[in-house]
Structure 1
């Protein structure tokens, strides 16, 4: 519950300051916060660490070591290499708030990994059970990041 308490304290601290800003300034601040949060989420996903600090469950080895001819093989087993790019990990910004997440068709894939569950390995392939590997989450470091970004914006 520490993260929920941090969010409540952050909201109580920021609400009077944000009320004094024009909608365009609030949107500009929300965009800066969204980009910083997305960068933090991307770095955490690249480090293969859940929001609570635990490492992701290791991926299963492929049944055969032989790949398609000319295919680029994964070097160190990193997961979610493409999923963490800005093309898929999107920000949605309004003067009222900010969202960082997966939207559209890729959201279903991300949800299977976020919560754990069953999904098809390939469109006509077998189904597999995926362990929960939380991609997105809010940490106390994110709360500090938002606070720092707001202070930097208000001082400029």
Structure 2
């Protein structure tokens, strides 16, 4: 099960009431934040464990029922571009058959997400932004962060997948 921990503005945009969250598997938890980039609404999804981020567009107001499908497809496509082994990607995707939407619970993840959004906004202003979504994801997931011991999010996420799904 995949858990989306949405900010107050995101919950309002999705027109959904949050469920109670007692799930402690950080690899399956994603914080969700909404912002405007290139005059379009975007959602930033950030994994709680690894700080891996995805920036997704195409989610309209009140479409919470499409959230899981869009994120799973985007994540799968991105991980293929990162050359992760297919069995690791499929194992993770297989666990994402259901989803719930809860409230945010980590100020650390929210601040890292805000940092990503700030950087993307500044690139938009400088006209140096990324036209290609995969290129943006790769760039965002190669930043280092203190909460993950100064490692890259893609490195932490890949290590977690290998640890979890390799027997």
Q: Give the TM-score taking structure 2 as reference length.
A: 0.23
Larger radius of gyration: 1
Greater helix content:
2
Superposition TM-score, scaled by structure 1 size: 0.24
Q: Which has the higher strand share?
A: 2
